[in-house]
Amino acid sequence: MFDARGKKVNQDSNHADTIGKTVVNVGDSSLQEGGSCLIEEPLDPCAIVVIGACGDLTRRKIILALFRLFQNKGLPDPFLVLGADLNDMTTEGYRDFIKESIHDLSGEDLIEKDWDAFASHLHYKTIDPKADSPYDDAADFLKEELRSSGTPGNRLLYLAVPPTQYIRIIQGLGKAGFAAEDEDWGGWSRVIIEKPFGRDLQSAQDLNRDIHEYFREDQVYRIDHYLAKETVQNLLMFRFANAIFEPIWNRRYIDHIQITAAETLGVEHRSIYYEQAGILRDMFQNHILQLLAMTAMEPPSVFQADRVRDEKIKVFRSLRPFPVDQLDEYLVLGQYAAGTMDGGQVPAYRDEPGVDNQSLTPTFAMAEVFIDNWRWQGVPFYLRSGKRMATKVTEIAIQFKDVPNLMFRNVLAEDIHPNMLVLRIQPDERITMTFQTKVPGAKVCLQPVTMDFHYSSVQEGVPLAAYEKVILDCLLGDHMLFVRQDGVEECWAFLSPVLDACENCKDREKLLHLYAAGTWGPEAADDLMKHDGRTCRVA
């Protein structure tokens, strides 16, 4: 067998079987049919401590993710899961509660032998918030369990609680010694924190300061689950592992980029939080700006967590300060009114339970932003997100510049549509590339055609949901998909002036454009792009 340069390659039967395939080893044994391709080496034995163990996030996402990882051999051996919450409950009662939740959410019958094996690792401790040190009992229980089983004292702490409780819980865990990496515990300690990380620059800095009173930055894992989606991870591979794209990934060839995160759902059970946050805090400060950074970042010298995060920070620092004195020229805010979704009527945002009937909270935003560096100078990025929109979709659309079509001026009656590359993140994960071809026949006519790659067409092994991926990366100690302290603060530094201008202006109501549920947002968003001679993309 010969390689592309004609050089002979040694070949054996094992090599022949791997041509065109991916082989992943788990520990010392090869991947077997129906087995796992989640890890390349054994994980450190550890205890996973879930604070807020009875809450909605734990029930819907975290425990279900842990159970699926367990089923696919993606958890360490041995391991222990300790749930801690205010509910007065026994371990047996908690196991029954979680079993029912997993059954309801998975839509499938539990494999009883899998559940019984998983449940034996699951424990529960009630937290007394009135105690001087509420987490001392949990710490003592965990140390005893780990010592009796001969397990090292490695701890993964998951804060599945509202952001208003972060500081109090961090302090409680710190006082109980959960952050310590000493001889008493005999292992590492890591803490997972869900977004939002503050509500403005000052609160984010305060939160980081309080976290660092007990935990070092390398112990902190700030989750943005969008970054764990396969298509987001593949964005870096797509850019930097293919020589045909990176040379044209710049202002010379790209006209503009649209980043969209559209949801069909309303605020649902999150109305109390959403009234305090709005779309800019809920989606732009984290998900949207993270997608922007991964789209625009420079290639790191090494594919290593801090090198990648360094390049993302450079993007945030290069964002042109938002012209707050010209808000209406660069920002459109909207709020959904009543409309039709899936053939049924849905209420306006102001009619949702828990929402003020005079609320000025935006549920939609489109912003035009610029990155002032050599690669992107002058290229507009249109960032758009909203609730109750026509389609659930998250995607990055890169539109290339028009061709200099002078050679066709005598033979073509129509304009030549520019090429477009679309990276679909969810749902129906795919990459499409649109280009022009000639219509068969004597007349010279063009037609757009699309090359379409679906991730599902090459999926091998066990597909990881976002929460499964982030938990697994935390167990591995890999920071690649997590947000660093300076990244959080740089994003807030860019967005806080916009929030201040929007929320403190005298004509705040005039900034808010109503749009019918089930549409693509207010007409003002289309007008913003039409003013630039461009068109809003709809999926």
Q: How many whole angstroms separate alpha carbon 402 and alpha carbon 416?
A: 7
CB-based contact 293:316 (threshold 8 Å): yes
Residue type, 321: P
**Residues present in the chain in total:** 539
C-alpha closest to that of 494 among 298, 309, 320: 320
CB-based contact 46:187 (threshold 8 Å): yes
CB-based contact 324:362 (threshold 8 Å): no
Candidate list 123, 225, 287, 479, residue with the active-site label: 287
> Taking the CB of residue 387, how many other CB atoms lie within 10 A of it?
24
Write down the residue that tokens 């939740």 correspond to. Answer: 101
Q: How far is CA 271 from the centre of its chain?
A: 21
- 103 is a catalytic site residue: no
* Spatial CB neighbours of 249, under 8 Å, sequence gap ≥ 6: 239, 375
Q: How many whole angstroms separate alpha carbon 182 and alpha carbon 175?
A: 14
Q: What is the SS3 assignment for 109?
A: coil
Q: How far is CA 343 from the centre of its chain?
A: 30
* Spatial CB neighbours of 282, under 8 Å, sequence gap ≥ 6: 196, 274
Residue type, 384: R
Active site residue ranges: 287
